[in-house]
């Protein structure tokens, strides 16, 4: 059976063996803490600024094209698509006739 002194000696040996690991973990914790602070301060701020910039673009676009203009463009695109379909069918018919 182990005595109290034996257990204390084992504990001291374990502490000595684990010291390099604990030192490395402390360094990792410092790096992790620094990274967390960077993300909280810099990345979050950058994302917020980016979002505000996009909102500015959206607001500008709303002033550049009115709903009526958008409807007009939509109608024109629809008309162009229909004309394209019709012309494609006519080309196919001509190809079939001419072989």
Query: d(Cα 40, Cα 43) in Å, to the nearest integer?
Result: 6
In this prediction, residue 84 has a pLDDT band, given cuts at 50, 70 and 90, of: very high
Who contacts 73 (Cβ-Cβ below 8 Å, separation ≥6)? Answer: 65
Q: Determine the pLDDT at residue 39.
A: 84
Rounded (5°) CA angle 47-53-56? 145
Q: Determine the pLDDT at residue 65.
A: 83
Please give the model's pTM, rounded to 2 decimal places: 0.36
Q: Determine the pLDDT at residue 36.
A: 87
The tokens describing 66, both together, are 């009115």
Q: What is the pLDDT of residues 41-75, one digit of tens each?
A: 888 888 888 888 888 888 888 888 888 888 999 99
């Amino acid at each position: 059976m182990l005595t109290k002194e034996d257990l204390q000696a084992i504990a001291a040996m374990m502490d000595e063996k684990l010291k390099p690991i604990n030192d490395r973990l402390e360094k990792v914790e410092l790096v992790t803490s620094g990274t967390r602070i960077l993300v909280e301060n810099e990345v979050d701020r950058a994302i917020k600024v980016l979002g505000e910039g996009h909102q500015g673009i959206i607001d500008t676009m709303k002033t550049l094209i009115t709903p009526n203009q958008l409807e007009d463009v939509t109608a024109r695109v629809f008309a162009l698509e229909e004309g394209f379909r019709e012309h494609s069918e006519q080309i196919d018919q001509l190809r079939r006739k001419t072989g």
